[in-house]
Structure 1
């Protein structure tokens, strides 16, 4: 773990080294960069990349910034990290809120981005997603902590595919993992949730993105439904769209081999357009 300071805010990152092209991985709400370490980091290192994972402000070992921040602050942190590493431009990969960050980065700083991959991409939230996020903020503000078992079961239903939950052992393993993570929402995560609630519809703005973009949707994603990801792919000129079957919002953990294959093929392909769904 290494610390970069930007405008007085400490941003933590892990640099796995190497002399290849830079790839920066950006997580979603409340999650530290180490979530990438089990599956995506080894795949990208094997493909020859220098891989760096980042803890967004509000998560992991980065500063909580409990007073709040904006999507522009989070985009600026990733831009600052690429500049700090002095190894860019970089391929950038993000999921959920991290997807929003990398797409906005591709729009604002195309000089820093070679290719962008957005898992569970979205240019807007629909009323259900907005209400769910606002509800999580309300629970945090009321200091309501859900019983661990109930929290885990709700999270499993929200973030995992029914295909995963049909396997009793896999379902139990996930329940154990989600229970271990706890049900409380800390100040940093609450600030990240507020960023999502404040997001405006950026569909029109994304028509100006010139960086090559791969949008990856998860067919059973109840948090960011595939139709929202498809909207991003349709808005960005030349963007590619792939939908991973039997995968929920945590599809990069549920179906890592499929996700890694399309990810590596796009940012370090031997043959362009070899994955299913590519034009």
Structure 2
């Protein structure tokens, strides 16, 4: 099912960003469509002309998060930009979202249905790990890849954090929204952001509202984890930029650097003064790094 192109004013709204980052979209040409991919439904926003760029968000994070900073920058640079939300019917035994392997298979089908190949792809965190799997299984679908806050293997911290989150879910425990918001901010924001107290209050308000709405992201099922992929990534020939965020506690930057070093055509860039949400905390630096990479590979 598809909706025809429509020109429409978009309301001022939040993405995954605080009040000081509220933005008003201009009237623009957007192509809205819905596609069935395997067992899930994908609701897509397709904007602009030129070479396509597919943006893949972190698990549980809506695709509109990219519209705050990355989509406008890519449109100004002359690219066509596709974002999406994944909607799958819940089942008692299902994970909150696809693991990297299943997510890569869905991305493969999505790219082929939209006839984008070979295209540029950009992903962050869990979205970047899905793109890594796609690089291994269907590299011919991709012309360039940008992987933010990604990893090629587990480390002790990430393993223990995932185990603790699964225990929390297994016991049916739900943290009070205010505490969950504080914990999310402590884990995901950088010390530089914490020094800007008004901004931090906005983040905390947003995180608490997200928790109360039940919209916070969830861990991936353990049987979907791909394990150590660094050696396998040595076979990938797609030009790839890996970005690490200096103060990221969720995916520490040395893990990102390992992925960049493992890729024969990989580059690594570390973005300073930001945590796991570096693409929102330091969007100008992230966008400049991404666009410089795309231009250098043309």
Bin for the TM-score computed over the shorter chain:
0.7 to 0.9
Deviations along 1:60-115, one digit per CA (max 9) or x if unpaired, are x3444652454221001111111111132110000001111112212211111010
Question: What is residue 276 of structure 1 aligned with on the other side?
Answer: none
Where does structure 1 differ by over 6 angstroms across 4 or more consecutive aligned residues? 183-186
Question: What is residue 6 of structure 2 aligned with on the other side?
Answer: none
The one of 115, 118, 122 aligned to 1:93? 122
Q: Superposition pairs for residues 1-279 of structure 1, below 5 Å? A: 2-7=33-38, 9-56=39-86, 61-64=87-90, 67-68=94-95, 69-182=98-211, 190=218, 193-194=220-221, 198-267=225-294, 269=295, 272=296
Change in CA separation of 1:78 and 1:63 when aligned onto 2, cut-off 3 Å: farther
Counterparts of 1:147 and 1:2, CA distance in 2 = 37
Counterparts of 1:197 and 1:163, CA distance in 2 = 34
Aligned length: 263
Counterparts of 1:16 and 1:261, CA distance in 2 = 22
Question: Which stretches in structure 1 are left out of the alignment for 5+ residues?
Answer: 274-279
Secondary structure at the aligned position of 2:234 is classed as helix
Deviations along 1:195-242, one digit per CA (max 9) or x if unpaired, are 587330111100001000000000000000001001101111131110
Structure 1 residue 170: Cα displacement: 1.0
Structure 1 residue 6: Cα displacement: 2.3
Contact 1:217 1:226 in 2 (8 A): yes
Deviations along 1:158-198, one digit per CA (max 9) or x if unpaired, are 00100001111111111011111106878x955x5215873
Question: Which stretches in structure 2 are left out of the alignment for 5+ residues?
Answer: 1-31
Q: More displaced, 198-207 or 176-185?
A: 176-185
Secondary structure at the aligned position of 1:16 is classed as strand
Change in CA separation of 1:197 and 1:76 when aligned onto 2, cut-off 3 Å: closer
Q: More displaced, 246-255 or 128-137?
A: 128-137
Q: More displaced, 206-215 or 24-33?
A: 24-33
